[in-house]
Amino acid sequence: MKLIQILLLIFSINLTANAVNERPHVKPTENDCTNEGVNLDLTINSPPPQTIPYIQDFDNFPTGPTSSEPSYALSEDWTNEGGDSFDWTTDTDNTGSGGTGPSADNTTGVPGQGTYLYLEASGGSAGRTAVMTSPYISLDGAQAGSQMIFWYHMLGSNIGSLEVDIRTLSNPSWTQIIAPFSDNVDLWQRSETNLDSYLGETVQFRFTGTTGNSFDGDIGFDDFAVIPPCTVDVDDLADQTETNTFTFPAITGSNLTGNEMYYTASRGRGTAFAPGQTIQVSQFIVYPVTLYIYGYLNAACYDEEDFQLTFTEAIAPDANNILYVDKKVTGGNETGNSWTNALPELADALLFAKGSESNYTDSNRLRIHIAGGTYKPLYSPEDGVNFGTDQDRDNAFLLVNYVELYGGFASGQSLAQRDLGNRAHETVLSGDFNNDDVVTGAGGTLSFANNAENAYHIVVGTSGAGTNIIDGVTINGGNADLFDDFMVNGIEVDKGMGGGIYIEDMDLKLTNCKVLQNFARSGGGIYVEGRLDATNCLIAKNLGSNGAGTLGGGGIQFNFADDSTFSNCTFYGNEGRLNAGALAIRSTDVAVDNCVFWNNSFRGNTNVAGADMGRSSLGFANFTVTYSLTQENSSFQGTDGINNQDPKFIDPSNDDFRLLPGSPVINTASNAAVPVGITTDAAGNTRIFDTTVDMGALENQGNIKLWTGVNGNDGIAGGNYFNNTAPAATDVIVIPGNGVTNYPTIDTPLTVDSIVMQSGSSLIANATVNASVKYTRNLPDTDWHLIAAPVAGETQEDIIAGTNLATGTGSNIGVGFYSNNTGPAYIFANEDSTGPIPSGGGISIKLAAASNVNITGTINSSTVTVPVTVGTRTSFNLLGNPFTSYLDATTFLNNNTSVLGENTVWLWNGTDYETFNLINSIKIAPAQGFFVEAGSNGNVSFATSNQSHNATDTFKSGNAITSFELTMSSAGEHVATKVFFDNRGTTGFDNGYDSTLFADATNHLELFTGLVANDQDMRLAIQTLSRDNMENNVIPVGVIAGAGDLLEFSIGTENLPTGLNVYLEDRLNQTLTLLEQGGAGYSVALDSDMNATGRFFIQMSNTTLGTGSTTTANIKIFTTNDNNLRITGLEDGKKAVAIYSLLGKEIVHHSFNTVGTEDISLPLVSAGIYIVNLQTEKGQQSQKILIQ
């Protein structure tokens, strides 16, 4: 049974609108100039008085100055009087001085939302005064019991005083009604004064604030009111007993016009409630507690009542003093006494622990068991009114004396059953409220983005007794980037230090934990002014950005801390920009044993020896390191067991710090340095596994089998693995992505624990493989990519949880599923999307930063079948390679000809679609997605026999055949079309050898060819023509581009016959340009939009021809139509022209003496390319023309 003491404060008042009146002013009525002088008659006009009830919340007052002696004109007939020292001014949040002044107004209680008046105590001597007066207020007809009310805030050790005076129109002398008073509490308080002595009068009030001896004496003033008497009946709130809910009764009384009330576990504006609303006991989990229920200033009538609520159900640990937390719990009563009744939030469990702190001792500890999931800090640990409330970035998990935190549980597990190696049950304490952090790189390349909203600290521990324990949790997403502080347990906590953990005046034992990807000005991962003892911990990818002087550590900052120790910890990829990468130690004795330091980075302004690893400063500390991999020679004492070789982690970019065989940290540490009672590593595996303990957080279990392939592709043979040992059922196979010539092929059934495939690796399974497989694919940019699951059993939720995805409009994230039916082309996932990613199907993915995509499942060792459809919008289907090996596209297309509309695959290269068919044999890499076009509804199959290894890590590869690629560039964009020459090609459409553009893409720039036969309107990305007739083909070239675009054409060739030239004809400009690989090409600016063939053509010739230049710059040769050749720019003298076919037959010979222009009739000949030879007295010129 829990007792909750409740204080009820209720206010109510009638409201009327305030009239805005003019200030009193002086008006001259007559000005007579006489010899006797000037007569001046003055009339004083005052605004009409306000009427009761009168309320002023100051929210409409303009923003005032914030200087120590402001000059400020008040509004709405409130006046800053002259003759005093300075003025009252306005503010909406804190006054700018620490330890004094309000943080928000009284009316709203929300910083930045409402306005209050205050006097600024900074910048002057004691005894300065600020005087303001209210408007006149008529009490004519006011009832007995009417009151003047205002709210004041006095916080600071040097508060001066506030005095209140009154006067009437009938007696303008001031009379004191409240003597000077002061206080020192962080609370808005209410003052009320009976006005019965002034009924029937018109009154004005004067408020005189006087400063104290220093800056911490700011006085706040808000919510002034003159109101009639009122009463509140609170008898219904007598002591009562409830099960686990409480329903607010209606409030009755006189002069009540509203029931605007709030409840909270501390003074200050809380949660609004209405009569009849029900709250649960789970909302009040700090015991004992005084619950304040009260109204605010449009309910200014005031009363209060003390009463008790007795709840029969409340949070309570089990008989072993264990409290259970499970983010995914369903059902249960959330009392926390079992996994079934688990609390869903760690923040609530710690609030309960704080409220019950007096119940715990060193021999009677509370243990909180936390199931796998991600938990966010929901409440502020700050002393005072903000404690236990949501304060956004100030929120943190507050460590409580004699309370231990254990994570990594599956629901139902005991501590002995917990499996820390199971990532599915990882317990994460995260400050990333928006779930959008982008953290890239490690060490000197470490970078953070999208973390501006993150909590300043994830965990805060101050003023502790005994030793606190955190075991088996991951702590990430802290962002301590602010130059500010707040008080926690009476200690100043700096919001710029300790993004992951901040401890001061407390002992913390950190075991089996990961402190990852936290940011701070100093101590990116952890800031220590107490004692820290860490065992089996990973401190990785934390950044200390700009600490000054002796502060600024990336991983951990010690600052005048108590003696601290590290045993079997791994420090990786931390960066300190002004002190040390991993450890910055100021006046603290630190002992490091059996640890690994690797890829940590110091990027300071000076070259500090050893600062990548750690740095001890000021000379008042002992930094001792033994039996550790130290990355470099650092500023520590001790030489026993030190080395600085590559530790050979499996995949540190994906936070896999298991050790590969041959690692220099295996069996090289000190057994004597392992703390008493430590029998497992950070993943729960046996420690010590062999005769000698390993360095670092993870102990090699002798079950990592590293593929070398030195003896071929046999995936079973021991000779292809490091140490020549074949994999056993409990082993983990690691296949490198580079440095290997042969990759494994498994032809007989294999059972192992798991297989890790690094990006670029390959594995062919021709038999059953019983193992979980993690395939890593590196995506080097933030473009969209088409990928696929090369394994069975992958899900959307796994990809979403484990990938650094981009975010888009609304809740969209960077995963898209293609649809060929009416509607959008892609349906995007969100953070809550679930469902399978089928083998053989493709998805589109976009990352927030270049990184890896990890795909997990089981090997497909049999044929995979995938349906394809003809949709209502297109016939395209997004597929993908379902194997962990390369897929031969030619075999795939030939196997599925009956269901495909074209024997073509389309791959996205990040900017454009690339097209492949039977003519350019390619191999599709594992995890590569691609498009096909369905000819009918049916199934495509991926046969296991169609697997191969590839020598390079590319998504696609092919063999060069006779071809050219025409490229068109405009404004930095490039598009291309390909023409192959093979005797399987004709001038018509040849399925599998000719391929159209990918039609479900809208491009403002595109290049294609048309069929030479010109019998179908097709836009070809690939065209294949016979090698036997290469010179006789005129190939239409189509362009999509806009008016004003400058088009630049160039060519790349493969295996073209020697002497064969390629020309680009522009019929509009009547030019013929030789295109050569690496040459200048052809450029033209479009006068209008273009979206067709007809202007540009490709022609080929074995004869070396001119490209349109002449011996005289002004001569031009061109056809005006198929029957006429025109030559312009002719000078005086004899000329002769001859026209030949490409076989050398002369078809025209013509002599003339014309100056200027000469037209020559052309005979009826076959369409094709002809050579024009012009001879003049100054020389000769040859040029190629096309006759249709």
Specify the pLDDT at position 7: 39
Asked whether the beta carbons of 992 and 932 are under 8 A apart, the reply is no
Give the Cα separation of 1147 and 513 in Å (integer).
89
The band of 22, judged by pLDDT with boundaries at 50, 70 and 90, is very low
Q: Which of 167-176, 305-314, 548-557, 917-926 has the lowest mean pLDDT?
A: 305-314
Backbone angles phi, psi at 722, to 5 degrees: -55, 140
The band of 635, judged by pLDDT with boundaries at 50, 70 and 90, is low
Q: Which residue has the higher pLDDT, 457 or 958?
A: 457
Specify the pLDDT at position 654: 85
Decide if pLDDT at 768 tops 60.
Answer: yes
Asked whether the beta carbons of 535 and 678 are under 8 A apart, the reply is yes
Residue with the two structure tokens 């100051």: 58
Sign of the four-CA dihedral 91, 93, 97, 102 = positive
- Provide the strand spans (E) within 64-155: 79-80, 89-91, 116-119, 129-133, 137-138, 147-154
Of the chain, the percentage scoring pLDDT greater than 90 comes to 56
Provide CB contacts within 8 A for 854, sequence distance 6+: 654, 774, 775, 776, 802, 803
Strand ranges across the sheet with 923-924: 923-924, 886-888, 947-948
Closest CA to 206 of 234, 242, 167: 167
Across 804-808, 860-864, 1012-1016, the highest mean pLDDT is recorded for 860-864
Give the Cα separation of 430 and 1039 in Å (integer).
52
Decide if pLDDT at 778 tops 80.
Answer: yes
The band of 1043, judged by pLDDT with boundaries at 50, 70 and 90, is very high
The band of 796, judged by pLDDT with boundaries at 50, 70 and 90, is very high
Decide if pLDDT at 408 tops 50.
Answer: yes
User: What token pair was written down for 724?
Assistant: 């020549």
Q: How many of the other CB atoms lie within 10 Å of CB of 12?
A: 25
Decide if pLDDT at 512 tops 80.
Answer: yes
Per-residue pLDDT tens for 524-549? 999 999 999 999 999 999 999 875 55
Asked whether the beta carbons of 1012 and 1099 are under 8 A apart, the reply is no
Helix (H) or strand (E) holding 889: helix 889-895
Q: How many of the other CB atoms lie within 10 Å of CB of 235?
A: 8
Specify the pLDDT at position 32: 34
User: What token pair was written down for 625?
Assistant: 């390191």
CATH architecture of the region 1116-1187? Sandwich (2.60)
Give the Cα separation of 120 and 628 in Å (integer).
57
Q: Is the peptide bond before 688 cis (omega within 30 degrees of 0)?
A: yes
Decide if pLDDT at 804 tops 90.
Answer: no
Decide if pLDDT at 270 tops 70.
Answer: no
Provide CB contacts within 8 A for 452, sequence distance 6+: 479
Specify the pLDDT at position 19: 31
Decide if pLDDT at 109 tops 80.
Answer: no
Residue 6, strand partner residues: 291, 307
When pLDDT is averaged across residues 975-979 and rounded to a whole number, the result is 95
Q: Is the peptide bond before 70 cis (omega within 30 degrees of 0)?
A: no
Give the Cα separation of 1167 and 296 in Å (integer).
94
Residue 979, strand partner residues: 964, 1023
Give the Cα separation of 254 and 234 in Å (integer).
12
Closest CA to 190 of 150, 230, 148, 232: 150
When pLDDT is averaged across residues 118-123 and rounded to a whole number, the result is 86
Q: Which of 531-535, 727-731, 778-782 has the lowest mean pLDDT?
A: 778-782
Decide if pLDDT at 261 tops 50.
Answer: yes
User: What token pair was written down for 57?
Assistant: 């919340």
Decide if pLDDT at 812 tops 90.
Answer: yes
CA distances 539 to 575, 897, 1063, Å, are 11, 54, 63
Decide if pLDDT at 108 tops 70.
Answer: yes
Specify the pLDDT at position 15: 30
Asked whether the beta carbons of 833 and 805 are under 8 A apart, the reply is no
Amino acid 708 reads T
Asked whether the beta carbons of 498 and 485 are under 8 A apart, the reply is no
The band of 1175, judged by pLDDT with boundaries at 50, 70 and 90, is confident
Residue 475, strand partner residues: 429, 515
Closest CA to 578 of 496, 659, 642: 496
Of the chain, the percentage scoring pLDDT greater than 70 comes to 84
When pLDDT is averaged across residues 1123-1149 and rounded to a whole number, the result is 83
Q: How many of the other CB atoms lie within 10 Å of CB of 36?
A: 7
Give the Cα separation of 220 and 130 in Å (integer).
12
Give the Cα separation of 645 and 734 in Å (integer).
21
Total residue count of the chain as it appears in this document: 1188
Asked whether the beta carbons of 819 and 842 are under 8 A apart, the reply is no
When pLDDT is averaged across residues 427-447 and rounded to a whole number, the result is 91
Specify the pLDDT at position 1170: 83
Decide if pLDDT at 1158 tops 50.
Answer: yes
User: What token pair was written down for 423?
Assistant: 């990532």
Residue with the two structure tokens 């029998």: 679
Query: In terms of C-beta density within 10 A (0-12 exposed, 13-18 middle, 19 or more buried), how is residue 358 classed?
Result: exposed
When pLDDT is averaged across residues 277-284 and rounded to a whole number, the result is 57
Residue 738 CA to its chain's centroid (Å): 30
Q: How many of the other CB atoms lie within 10 Å of CB of 998?
A: 20
Decide if pLDDT at 895 tops 60.
Answer: yes
Mean pLDDT of the chain: 85
When pLDDT is averaged across residues 138-156 and rounded to a whole number, the result is 91
Q: Are strands 929-933 and 479-480 parallel, antiparallel or unpaired?
A: unpaired
Closest CA to 555 of 574, 534, 527: 574
Q: pTM for the full model?
A: 0.67
Specify the pLDDT at position 66: 59
Closest CA to 510 of 459, 551, 545: 459
User: What token pair was written down for 777?
Assistant: 């694919």
Query: In terms of C-beta density within 10 A (0-12 exposed, 13-18 middle, 19 or more buried), how is residue 587 classed?
Result: middle
Backbone angles phi, psi at 415, to 5 degrees: -60, -35
Closest CA to 1062 of 966, 995, 1130: 966
Residue with the two structure tokens 């990468």: 581
Decide if pLDDT at 297 tops 70.
Answer: no
Fold of 54-225: Jelly Rolls (2.60.120)
Specify the pLDDT at position 295: 43
Backbone angles phi, psi at 802, to 5 degrees: -105, 10
When pLDDT is averaged across residues 980-994 and rounded to a whole number, the result is 94
Specify the pLDDT at position 218: 93
The band of 470, judged by pLDDT with boundaries at 50, 70 and 90, is very high
Domain boundaries, the chain: 2-13+232-311, 54-225, 460-467+502-700, 704-771, 777-948, 963-1101, 1116-1187
Q: Compute the C-alpha angle 453/459/460, nearest 5°.
A: 110
Decide if pLDDT at 1157 tops 50.
Answer: yes
For the chain, what is the largest distance between any 2 Cα atoms, rounded to a whole number of angstroms? 129
When pLDDT is averaged across residues 998-1023 and rounded to a whole number, the result is 90
Specify the pLDDT at position 602: 81
Specify the pLDDT at position 102: 92
Per-residue pLDDT tens for 333-366? 888 999 999 999 999 999 889 888 888 999 999 9
Specify the pLDDT at position 587: 85
Closest CA to 420 of 512, 523, 325, 497: 512
When pLDDT is averaged across residues 713-725 and rounded to a whole number, the result is 94
Per-residue pLDDT tens for 663-689? 999 999 999 999 999 999 999 999 999
Decide if pLDDT at 930 tops 90.
Answer: yes
Specify the pLDDT at position 256: 58
Per-residue pLDDT tens for 363-404? 999 999 999 999 999 999 998 878 888 899 999 999 999 999
Specify the pLDDT at position 180: 95
Decide if pLDDT at 631 tops 60.
Answer: yes
Q: Which of 111-120, 211-220, 458-467, 634-643 has the lowest mean pLDDT?
A: 634-643
Specify the pLDDT at position 386: 81
Decide if pLDDT at 253 tops 80.
Answer: no
Specify the pLDDT at position 334: 86
Q: Which residue has the higher pLDDT, 912 or 924?
A: 924
Closest CA to 329 of 410, 426, 416, 423: 410
Q: Which of 11-20, 52-61, 710-719 has the lowest mean pLDDT?
A: 11-20
Specify the pLDDT at position 6: 39
Closest CA to 150 of 100, 105, 190, 94: 190
